[in-house]
Amino acid sequence: MKLSKQARQHELKNTIEDTPFIRDEELARRFGVSIQTIRLDRMELSIPELRERIKSVATQEWNETVKALPIEEVIGEVVDLELDVRAISILDIKPEHVFSRNNIARGHHLFAQANSLAVAVINEDLALTAGSTIRFTRPVKLGERVIAKARVKGDDSKGRTIVDVHSYVDNDEVFAGSFEMFRENEPKEVGEK
Amino acid sequence: MKLSKQARQHELKNTIEDTPFIRDEELARRFGVSIQTIRLDRMELSIPELRERIKSVATQEWNETVKALPIEEVIGEVVDLELDVRAISILDIKPEHVFSRNNIARGHHLFAQANSLAVAVINEDLALTAGSTIRFTRPVKLGERVIAKARVKGDDSKGRTIVDVHSYVDNDEVFAGSFEMFRENEPKEVGEK
DNA sequence: ATTACTGTTAGTACCTAGTCTTAATTCGTG
DNA sequence: CACGAATTAAGACTAGGTACTAACAGTAAT
């Protein structure tokens, strides 16, 4: 059975939140319904059309909320950010990111995107990465667009915040990492500078 | 006198750079020429249409060309290398490596140094990082010299080569990582889609 | 004076990714 | 099978363009 209307609308919302640059046509294809249905759904959910969505990304509803990182220091382009909850960034793989021999993106760029997103999502003036475990699921090629999604999982026993980041190219996971973030202002201790 | 073509095009470029959301209609009004003239000008200057401009603001050709941090040069200088055994590199922490707020080196630079050393130490035309577990032991400050030492530990069950990297500043460990390296010439793996 | 050329303006057809409206069709369930 | 909800379809219109053709004015060269 195809998704119920409720379920579809729920997924629709998520999909658009994740990839705001998607057209109705592509959404219709994905959900196996007509374009009109997608448009009805958008209307019911009051989700604006593509161009308006792009505009609102461009007009920085997000960028004023970044605390730990000046936005220009985030690797990749932040398209969504809710502090201490989640963040999404896009990195287009360009010639400077790849090994010249095979046009595969060098790992540290994917790491950099994920790590800086993990730093950016922390609602703190100062956040540092204490450690991380990562995995490169499949190589990323020149020209591909990597969408990194960070989600704050909560704090561990030592007061470190765990941030999971998964990066995708066309819905294929290419990178997964768990970052253990150190926040300056966790315990009462003010600590040196 | 109305502006010369040259002058108008020059102003046009500036205007669009300043306020990329402006429509041709408004530009025509401002410069007292027809909308077609503006379009010809844009064509000659290869300035894209409004929607593409908005998109590129949202997609950040903007931020990227301005900052474009040359991560390529992050890797450090290799001072010792014995293939498949060990390697050492040095990275001097410069202003472009640190957070502007506190002059602490950004994690991905230490990661990049270690990761690229792990790639370099592999005796293979092509090596990729499959995964890694890392730890940032203490923050590294602007001006410090980081010495990364990689040692090849051998292969795991899946034919991945394990490389351990430890980085030091003045004999203090600042970073430790274990990298699981994939070598192209191991099994038949062609790469699915 | 005629020709050539540049710069500007005009008009048409076409495009995308929608909108809004009305109507017809199909689905799920009683 | 009927009925309302859900879906699809069809048509007209919009913004902000592209691409192309044509026309005209003013200047320069022949």
Is residue B164's pLDDT more than 90? yes
Q: So what's the architecture of A63-183 in CATH?
A: Roll (3.10)
Site of tokens 């500043």: B169
Residues 6 or more apart whose CB falls under 8 angstroms from that of B125 comprise A101, B184, B185
Whole-number Å distance between alpha carbons of A78 and A28:
26
pLDDT at B188: 30
Q: Where do we find the tokens 């351990």?
A: B164
CA distances from A143 to A101, B82, B133, B158 (A): 15, 34, 28, 30
Q: Which two tokens stand for residue A84?
A: 């201490």
Which sequence spans correspond to the domains of chain A? 5-58, 63-183
Protein CB footprint (7 Å) on chain C nucleotides: 7-11, 17-21, 28
The count of other CB atoms within 10 Å of the CB of residue B17 is 11
B42 touches strand C (CB under 7 A): no
Mean pLDDT score, B26-53? 92
- The correct CATH number of B5-67 out of 1.10.10.10, 2.60.40.420, 1.10.1060.10, 3.10.28.10 is 1.10.10.10
Banded model confidence at residue B165, pLDDT cuts 50, 70, 90? very high
Contact (CB, 8 A) for B148 and B165: yes
Q: Taking CB atoms and an 8 Å limit, are A134 and B136 in contact across chains? A: no
Distance set, CA B18 to CA B11, B46, B57, B69 (Å) = 10, 16, 12, 23
Is residue B111 within 8 Å of residue A113, measured between CB atoms?
Answer: no
Residue A185, pLDDT score:
53
The residues with which A98 forms a beta bridge, in sequence order, are A105
CATH architecture of A5-58: Orthogonal Bundle (1.10)
Using CB atoms, which residue from B106, B119, B134 is nearest to A132?
Answer: B134
Q: Compute the distance between CA of residue B4 and CA of residue A164 in angstroms, rounded to an integer.
A: 56
Predicted confidence at residue A150, as pLDDT, reads 93
B152 pLDDT tier (thresholds 50, 70, 90): very high
* Fold for the domain defined by B71-183: Thiol Ester Dehydrase; Chain A (3.10.129)
Phi-psi region of B39 (alpha: psi -120 to 50; beta: other; left: phi over 0): alpha
Give the one of A55, A109, A115 whose C-beta lies nearest to B107's C-beta: A115
- Rounded-to-integer distance, Cα A89 and Cα A146, Å: 8
Q: Is the pLDDT of residue B74 over 50?
A: no
Instruction: Tell me which range, A151-160, B35-44, B135-144, B179-188, is most confidently predicted by mean pLDDT.
Output: B35-44
How many other CB atoms are there within 10 angstroms of residue B135's CB atom?
A: 17
Cβ-nearest to B115 among A75, A108, A138: A108
Among residues A119, A134, A66, the alpha carbon closest in space to that of B104 is found at A119
Beta strands B86-92 and B77-82: pairing type?
A: antiparallel
* Highest averaged pLDDT of the listed ranges A56-65, A173-182, B60-69, B80-89: A173-182
The CA distance from A57 to A86, in Å, is 16
What angle is formed at CA A90 by the lines to CA A41 and CA B133, rounded to 5 degrees? 120
Amino acid A116: pLDDT: 85
Interface contact A116, partner B, CB < 8 A = yes
* Identity of the amino acid at A124: E
As a rounded value in angstroms, the CA-to-C1' distance for B36 and D29 is 29
Q: Of residues 55 to 74 in chain A, which lie within 7 A of strand C by their beta carbon?
A: none
State whether B71 and A108 contact (CB < 8 Å): yes
Give the residue on B whose Cα is nearest the Cα of A128: B107
Looking at the predicted structure, is the pLDDT value of residue B72 above 50? no
Give tens-digit pLDDT for A112-143: 899 888 888 887 766 778 888 888 888 888 88
Q: DSSP state, B193?
A: -
Beta-carbon contacts of residue A124 (< 8 Å; ≥ 6 apart)? A67, A68, A183, A184, A185
- Gap between the terminal Cα atoms of chain A: 59
Tens of pLDDT, residues A30-64:
999 999 999 999 999 989 999 988 887 666 443 33
CA distance A5 to chain B (A): 31
Spanning CA of A19 to C1' of D15, the rounded length in angstroms is: 24
CA distance B25 to B9: 15
B131–A131 C-beta distance less than 8 A: no
Where are any strands of DSSP class E within A110-170? 127-136, 145-155, 161-169
B131 reaches A (C-beta below 8 A): yes
pLDDT at B69 over 70: no
